[in-house]
Chains A and B, each alone.
Chain A
Amino acid sequence: MKLQAMAVGLLVSGLVLVACGRETSPGAGNTTVTAPNVAHNVTVVGSPTFARMTQRGTVIIGVKNDQPGLGYLNPRTNKYEGFDIEMARLIAAKLGFDPNTKIQYQAIPSAAREQSIINGQIDYYVGTYTINDARKKLIAFAGPYFIAGQSLLVKADDQSITGPETLKGKRVCSATGSTPIRRVREQNLTDKIVEFQNYSQCVDQLLAGQVDAVTTDDAILKGYAAQDPQHLKVVGKPFSQEPYGVGLPHGDDALRAKMNDILDAAAQDGTWQTIYHATLGVSGSDATPPAVDRY
Chain B
Amino acid sequence: MIELLVDNRDLFLTGFRNTILLFLLAGIGALVVGTLLAAMRVSPVPVLRLLGGGYVNIFRNTPLTLVFFFFAFAYPRLDLLDVSFFTRAVLALIVYTAAFVCEVVRSGINTVDVGQAEASRALGLTFTQTLTTIVVPQAIRSVVPPLTSVLNALLKNTTVAAGFAVAEAGQITPTLSERGASVLIGMVWIAIGFLILVIPLTATQRTLEKRWSVAR
Instruction: Assess whether A196 is in contact with B183, with CB atoms less than 8 Å apart.
Output: no
With a cutoff of 8 Å between Cβ atoms, the chain B residues found around residue A134 in the complex are 179-180
Instruction: Tell me whether A5 and B176 are in contact (CB under 8 A).
Output: no
* A45 in the interface (beta carbon within 8 A): no
Given the interface pairs A13-B66, A176-B171, the reply to whether A201 lies near B73 with Cβ below 8 Å is yes
B103 to chain A minimum Cβ distance, whole angstroms, is 24
Asked whether A9 lies within 8 Å of B178 as measured between CB atoms, the reply is no
**B176 touching A177, Cβ below 8 Å:** yes
Interface members, chain B 66-93 (any A CB < 8 Å): 66, 69-70, 72-79, 85
Q: Please encode chain A, from 4 to 23, with 1 for each CB lying within 8 Å of some chain B CB and 0 for all others.
A: 01101110111011001000
Q: Indicate if the CB atoms of B167 and A195 lie closer than 8 Å.
A: yes
Interface hub of A2, A114, A195 (most chain B Cβ within 10 A): A195
What does the 1/0 interface line of A185-217 toward B look like (CB < 8 Å)? 000000000111100010011001110000000
For the complex, is A76 an interface residue (Cβ under 8 Å from B)? Answer: no
Minimum C-beta distance from B156 to chain A (A):
18
Query: B162 is contacted by which of A133, A135, A176, A182 (Cβ under 8 Å)?
Result: A176
A44 interface residue, CB < 8 Å from B?
A: no
Q: Is the CB of A13 within 8 A of B85?
A: no
B63 at the interface (CB under 8 A from A): yes
Given contacts A111-B177, A177-B177, A177-B178, contact A17 B66 (CB under 8 A): yes
Residues of A contacting B66 with CB < 8 Å?
A: 13-14, 17
A208-B85 contact given A16-B69, A115-B177, CB 8 Å threshold? no
Asked whether any CB of chain A lies closer than 8 Å to the CB of B193, the reply is: no
- Could you tell me which residues of chain B, from 143 to 165, have a CB within 8 Å of some CB in chain A? 162-165
Q: In the bound complex, what is the Cα–Cα distance between A6 and B69 (angstroms)?
A: 12
A176 in contact with B78 (CB, 8 Å): no
Interface check A137, CB cutoff 8 A: yes
- Please give, as numbers and ranges, the residues of chain B lying within 8 Å of A181 by CB-CB distance: 178
**A residues in contact with B69, CB < 8 Å:** 12-14, 16-17
Considering the chains assembled together, what is the distance between the CA atoms of A205 and B73 in angstroms?
A: 7
> In the complex, what distance in Å separates the CA atom of A173 from the CA atom of B167?
13
Q: Which residues of A contact B167 (CB under 8 A)?
A: 195
Q: Are B164 and A196 in contact (CB under 8 A)?
A: yes
* Contact A6/B78 with A176-B162, A176-B171 known, Cβ cut-off 8 Å: yes
Docked-complex contact B78 and A5, CB < 8 angstroms: yes
Contact yes or no, A111 B74, CB < 8 A? no
Q: Is the CB of B73 within 8 A of A13?
A: yes
B142 within 8 A of A: no
- The yes or no answer to B175 lying at the interface (CB within 8 A) is yes
B129 within 8 A of A: no
Q: Cβ of A182: which chain B residues have Cβ within 8 Å of it?
A: 178-179
Instruction: State A107–B178 Cα separation when bound (angstroms).
Output: 18
- Asked if A274 is at the interface (CB within 8 A of a chain B CB), the reply is no
A156 CB-CB contact with B under 8 Å? no
Q: Tell me which residues across on chain A come within 8 A of B184, comparing CB atoms.
A: 115
For residue B173, CB closer than 8 A to chain A, the reply is yes
A30 within 8 A of B: no
Contact B164 A12 (CB under 8 A): no
Contact residues in A for B176 (Cβ distance below 8 Å): 177
Q: How far is the CB of A48 from chain B (nearest CB, A)?
A: 21
User: Which A1-56 residues have C-beta < 8 A from chain B?
Assistant: 2, 5-6, 8-10, 12-14, 16-17, 20
- A17 CB contact (under 8 Å) in B65, B77, B85, B177: B65
Residues of B within 8 A of A9 (CB): 70, 73-75, 77-78
Bound Cα distance from A271 to B75, whole angstroms: 46
Bound CA–CA A135/B179 (angstroms) = 9
Given A17-B65, A114-B183, A176 and B175 touching (CB < 8 A)?
A: yes
Residue A227 CB within 8 A of the other chain: no
Complex partner residue of A195 from B65, B75, B165, CB under 8 angstroms: B165
Residue on B nearest A210 in the bound complex, by CB: B76
Sample of 16 more A-B contacts, CB < 8 Å, known A14-B69, A17-B65, A196-B165:
A5-B77, A6-B74, A6-B78, A12-B74, A17-B63, A17-B69, A114-B177, A135-B180, A176-B174, A176-B175, A177-B171, A177-B176, A177-B177, A182-B179, A194-B165, A209-B76
Question: Interface of B with A (CB < 8 Å)?
Answer: 63, 65-66, 69-70, 72-79, 85, 162-165, 167, 171, 173-180, 183-184
Chain A contact residues, CB within 8 Å of chain B:
2, 5-6, 8-10, 12-14, 16-17, 20, 110-115, 132-135, 137-138, 173, 176-179, 181-182, 194-197, 201, 204-205, 208-210
User: What are 9 A-B contacts defined by CB distance under 8 Å?
Assistant: A9-B73, A9-B75, A13-B70, A132-B180, A176-B174, A177-B173, A177-B175, A210-B76, A210-B85
User: Closest 6 CB pairs between A and B?
Assistant: A9-B74, A134-B180, A177-B174, A111-B174, A13-B69, A177-B175
